[in-house]
Homo-oligomer: A and B are copies of this chain.
Amino acid sequence: MTNISSDVIRGYNDTMILYLLLNGPSYGYEISKQIKALSGEKYIIKETTLYSAFTRMEKNGYIESFQDASEIGKKRTYYRITDTGRTYYREKCDEWQLTKEVVEVFIHKKPDLPGTMTDA
């Protein structure tokens, strides 16, 4: 079973989180569930990774935290994306296209044909 290694996703966790915040403010637990669902259970972000991403991105000005006053139950920290964050997100999207192009030069596609690449 092939798994996504953290080294690959590294640097794109922030992008995934920002993508979800484009649709409006959200908070940790919800975002982690959305990442899991949208990735088809293929990627599950670790809690520590997620929360440290929030801290980092707020420090960088990509997101802003706030408390929802009209909250009944548990207190949550919500985050909303800033304009700087939106710009950063778009840059990461461009970067991704470039990276993909480059990496794929060095990648053999899965054959989908029998008898290829088995040996020799």
Q: Which residues of A contact B (CB under 8 A)?
A: 2-5, 7-12, 15-16, 19-20, 38-40, 42-43, 89-110, 117
Contact = CB atoms under 8 A, between A and B. Distances in A.
Main secondary structure of the interface of A (DSSP, over half): helix
Contacts of A108: 19, 89-90, 93
11 contacts: A4-B98, A4-B99, A5-B11, A7-B10, A8-B8, A8-B10, A15-B107, A39-B102, A43-B102, A93-B107, A96-B103
A8 B14 CA distance: 12
Contacts of A104: 96
A108 to B, nearest CB: 5
